[in-house]
């Protein structure tokens, strides 16, 4: 598969391009808002074609699919425009700025007959898959505690702090914790949140939320831009627990998780792997088979309805019901 990259974002340079190089696929083109920037990115990364606008790349017939790492608020526009050209789209997380937009993107790509996948790389990591399977050893899973804190106190600018570009810690890192809660507990019925922006950046920079599930099950999810870097996921059942730290963005380091179950306590280890390369391979396989990705627009909307509800709860200061993500 030949990929085109929309933009020259750091994640494209540091993670996506090296990931594709580790597979049988290739990055054949890159586009930026200026030709100079695109050519520099192409030269630095061994990419044969550079375009001075996103439109030129989409209209060039040079690629089979595009990787969309643009600011969150631009995901929908350029994903739909790529779909209009018959191109499959691997879109960086979060897929959209809210659940309604995610559903709209999914419907648009379905109508054009192209595959749309959210680049939630940790969902394809072997450790995540094994943790989901190991949860069956915990009896009745009753509680999840998950958080992702990214210390950006020294980076007070950029799209993460721009409300018009879909900034804020909920969309940037909170979606990881929310997806972890849903992976083990299903769909929450209601949520309550405390949201803070103490430095008045214009977006939320610290969020603590409680998700309430049927049968009295609960999850606590936390995220921030202002606390020290941390990633964790703890799953508690009536007969054991699972704990992973760090839990989400693992790079290519070895990873582990601790499992306590009846009669045993073990640490399961996983060899170094590139989760972005796995993500690329899975995307290409979904396209080839015509299957819906594990992290498709419906799955993104499932997470984003919780984001929407947490934000509403933070505004009104009380519990908020979570809407049906498929509506």
Report the run of H or E that residue 143 belongs to, with start and end.
strand 141-149
Side-chain-side CA neighbours of residue 187 (13 Å): 13
Cis ω before 246 (30° cut-off from 0): yes
C-beta separation of 89 from 108 below 8 A: no
Q: Is 217 a catalytic residue?
A: no
E-strand stretches of 152-203: 190-196
Q: Is 210 left (phi over 0), alpha (psi -120 to 50) or beta?
A: beta
C-beta separation of 219 from 210 below 8 A: yes
C-beta separation of 313 from 320 below 8 A: yes
Angle 91-96-97 from CA coordinates, rounded to 5°: 145
Helix axis angle for 126-134 and 175-185, nearest 10°, is: 40
| DSSP symbol at 323 | P
Cis ω before 112 (30° cut-off from 0): no
Structure tokens at 198: 């103490």
Residues with catalytic function:
93
């Amino acid at each position: 598969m030949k990929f085109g990259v929309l933009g020259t974002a750091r994640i494209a340079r540091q993670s996506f391009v090296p990931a594709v190089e580790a597979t049988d696929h290739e990055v054949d083109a890159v586009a930026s808002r200026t030709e100079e920037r695109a050519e520099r990115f192409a030269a630095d990364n061994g990419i044969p074609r550079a375009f001075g606008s996103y439109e030129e790349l989409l209209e060039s017939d040079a690629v089979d699919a595009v990787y969309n790492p643009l600011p969150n608020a631009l995901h929908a526009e350029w994903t739909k425009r790529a779909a209009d050209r018959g191109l499959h789209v691997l879109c960086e997380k979060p897929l959209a700025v809210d659940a309604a937009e995610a559903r709209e993107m999914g419907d648009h790509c379905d109508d054009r007959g192209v595959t749309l996948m959210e680049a939630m790389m940790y969902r394809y990591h072997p450790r995540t898959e094994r943790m989901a399977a190991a949860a069956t050893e915990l009896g009745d899973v009753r509680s999840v505690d998950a958080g992702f804190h990214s210390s950006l106190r020294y980076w007070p600018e950029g799209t993460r702090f721009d409300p018009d570009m879909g900034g804020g810690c909920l969309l940037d890192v909170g979606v990881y914790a929310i997806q972890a809660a849903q992976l083990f507990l299903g769909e929450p019925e209601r949520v309550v949140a405390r949201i803070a922006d103490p430095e008045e950046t214009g977006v939320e920079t610290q969020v603590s939320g409680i998700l309430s599930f049927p049968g009295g099950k609960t999850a606590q999810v936390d995220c921030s831009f202002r606390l020290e870097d941390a990633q964790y996921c703890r799953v508690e059942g009536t007969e054991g627990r699972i704990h992973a730290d760090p839990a989400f963005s693992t790079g290519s380091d070895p990873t582990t998780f601790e499992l306590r179950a009846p009669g045993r306590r073990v640490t399961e280890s996983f060899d170094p792997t590139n989760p972005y390369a796995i993500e690329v391979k899975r995307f290409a396989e979904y396209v080839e088979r015509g299957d819906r990705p594990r992290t498709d627009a419906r799955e993104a909307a499932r997470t984003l309805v919780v984001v929407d509800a947490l934000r509403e709860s933070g505004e009104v200061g009380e519990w908020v019901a979570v809407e049906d993500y498929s509506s």
